[in-house]
Amino acid sequence: MKSQLDEDISSLSISLKNEEEIHKKKIWKFRMAIKAFGSNFANLENEINQVGENFIRVGEQLERVAKEKSRSEEIKELVDYFAEFNAGKHDLIDQLKDNGSEGQIKVFSSHFNNFF
């Protein structure tokens, strides 16, 4: 009976060592997978940051273009007023004259809002 018990203990001991090796390999693979996941996540985060920076630059450029467009429209409007005035059309001046001081400020600011 003792020999049978010794054999069982030996068999279980070998089986335990095998299972421990399998478990260690699984843990090692799991750690490597977590490491790869962390690396991939860091790469994704970097790329998201780069995309965000690109969006900011594009937004700044669009804002700059919008300001330039607005300024060019204001310049065109001013040139048109000067051309009308030169041609003898004084509608804007008459409108300013007729509206009094508050109306003059309102008309002036509506026509030349961000020009100066």
Per-residue pLDDT reduced to its tens digit, 66-91: 999 999 998 888 888 788 888 887 77
Which amino acid makes up residue 65?
V
In this prediction the pTM is 0.50
Domain boundaries, the chain: 1-113
Query: Do 89 and 80 form a contact (C-beta atoms < 8 A)?
Result: no
Cα–Cα distance list, 33 to 19, 20, 27, 38, 42 (Å): 21, 20, 10, 9, 14
> Could you give the CA distance from residue 79 to residue 92 in angstroms, rounded to a whole number?
13
Q: Predicted confidence band at 109 (pLDDT cuts at 50, 70, 90)?
A: low
Helix runs in the chain, H state only: 2-86, 91-98, 100-111
Q: pLDDT tens digits, residue range 24-65? A: 999 999 999 999 999 999 999 999 999 999 999 999 999 999
